[in-house]
Amino acid sequence: MTMTMTLNLASVRRAYRRHAPYYDVVFGNLLRSGRMKGVDKINSLPGTNVLEVGVGTGISLPHFKSDKRIVGIDISKEMLDKARSRVNDAKLSNVNALLEMDAEELAFADNTFDIVAAMYVASVVPNASRFMREIQRVCVRGGHILIVNHFTREGGLRGAAERKLARLSHMLGWRPDFALEPFLDSGTVEIIEQRDTSPFGLFTLIHCRNVK
């Protein structure tokens, strides 16, 4: 399936500027199951240095173990402002930095992180292949990449609905018709685990080993 490439950084920033005031109440609850499964998986993995790409309002940050040293990045200033307030209020000393940054051009050296997490991000970035290459670059060889995302399904009512919604990608700030195979094929990762998550199995958790 050809992915609808109607996103750009400006449209993503606009979308999440709109979403920031109510993100936790609406999307935080809706996406909680997949996010918590992702955090639980990260907490169980070896390695200390963790990059959370698309940290958003920092809703996941209080749930990481204290021995995980977290760096979070996001393209949205408004979302990061909320994340910084959350870190300050909860006194999360294991959060090393929250940075405004483009996920397709990560300002980190190669092999910086033991674990890279991207929860509900892959279908948000304009160029998913470039994003995959970047998260592999900054992850150590043999390190872990954890992705939670919605991926489109061919055919049926769901597929038809996703194709229609794709026309609104620039307003939604993400692509409903985002396909799994082209995204994974753009990198060189070994899939360790893949499973559907709530709500209704609409999202997928993928745990990969970085074999760049």
Question: Cα–Cα distance between 5 and 8 in angstroms, integer?
Answer: 8
Per residue in 69-97, is it b (16+ CB within 10 Å) or e — as a string? bbbbbbbbebbbebbeebbeeeebeebee
Largest CA distance in the chain: 47
pLDDT at 212: 79
Q: Are 99 and 71 in contact (CB under 8 A)?
A: yes
End-to-end CA distance of the chain: 26
Q: Which amino acid is at 119?
A: M
In the CATH hierarchy, which top-level class contains the domain 9-114+127-141+151-170+180-210? alpha beta
Sign of the alpha-carbon dihedral angle for 76, 81, 82, 83: positive
pLDDT at 179: 80
pLDDT at 14: 87
Question: Cα–Cα distance between 141 and 143 in angstroms, integer?
Answer: 5
Domain boundaries, the chain: 9-114+127-141+151-170+180-210
How far apart, in Å, are the Cα atoms of 185 and each of 124, 180, 197?
A: 18, 9, 22
Q: Are 176 and 169 in contact (CB under 8 A)?
A: yes
Question: Cα–Cα distance between 135 and 139 in angstroms, integer?
Answer: 6
pLDDT at 174: 52
pLDDT tens by residue, the chain, 212 residues = 334 445 788 888 888 898 899 999 988 888 999 999 999 999 999 999 999 999 999 999 999 999 999 999 999 999 999 999 999 999 999 999 999 999 999 999 999 999 999 999 988 888 999 999 999 999 999 999 999 998 886 654 444 445 544 444 444 445 566 788 889 898 899 999 999 998 777 889 999 999 97
